[in-house]
Amino acid sequence: MQKHLVNLNVGFDNASVIGIGYGYHLKTKMPLVLNLEYSMPLGDRTFDDFKTKIGGQLNLVRANSFFAAVKVYGIIRRFENDFARMINFGSEFSTTAGLYKNKWFAAVELGFDKAITTHLKHSNLMKQYNPGVQSGWYIPTGGNFSCGLQVGYSFKRNDVYAKIGRTLSQDFKTTSIVPYYAQLGWSMKW
């Protein structure tokens, strides 16, 4: 069993994004991996917008090649445009289940990402268009369900993988302009 996991990925999730992550496998009765992840959109200003996740993954079921796990994360996000700066605190819960063979894997992932509270700071430009706009904390601010597939190939201590899926808002009515996500990644274990 390898204790350390490093992950690099690139994809699309409301924008073109790049990410990095680190996981540490604890010696517990049920396999538990603590994770820290950072991602940011690819754009003109580096590190102006970001998403960080800290949490863990608990492997619940292992039956031959079938695995099922749950993930729980705390999230901090930042986004800024000409009209406002938004910082939000939230959580993400997901479950992954699938076949994990020696050289390949395929799984389904279902999740819920909730923005619990968001702080908005409106710019002077926004105040020109809407003089009554209020900066401050807003609770709650929404969430998204996700459903996707992931496949991968394993060699030595490496995995190369692809994910694709769809998101839907928590009201099951509204969707993003592009309600799909995709990711290509590489992870190494030692």
pLDDT of 93-114, one tens digit each?
A: 999 999 999 999 999 999 999 9
pLDDT of 116-128, one tens digit each?
A: 999 999 999 999 9
45: confidence class by pLDDT, cuts 50, 70, 90: confident
17 has which bridge partners? Answer: 11, 41
134: confidence class by pLDDT, cuts 50, 70, 90: very high
- Residue 99 CA to residue 190 CA, distance in Å, equals 22
CATH of domain 4-185: 2.40.128
32 has which bridge partners? Answer: 26, 58
pTM across the whole model: 0.91
Q: Beta-carbon neighbour count of residue 127 at 10 Å?
A: 13
- The pLDDT value recorded for residue 43 is 81
pLDDT of 8-23, one tens digit each?
A: 999 999 899 999 999 9
Reduced to 3 DSSP states, what percent helix, strand and coil does the chain have, rounded to the nearest 5?
A: 5, 70, 25
Residue ranges covered by each domain of the chain: 4-185
127 DSSP 8-state letter: H
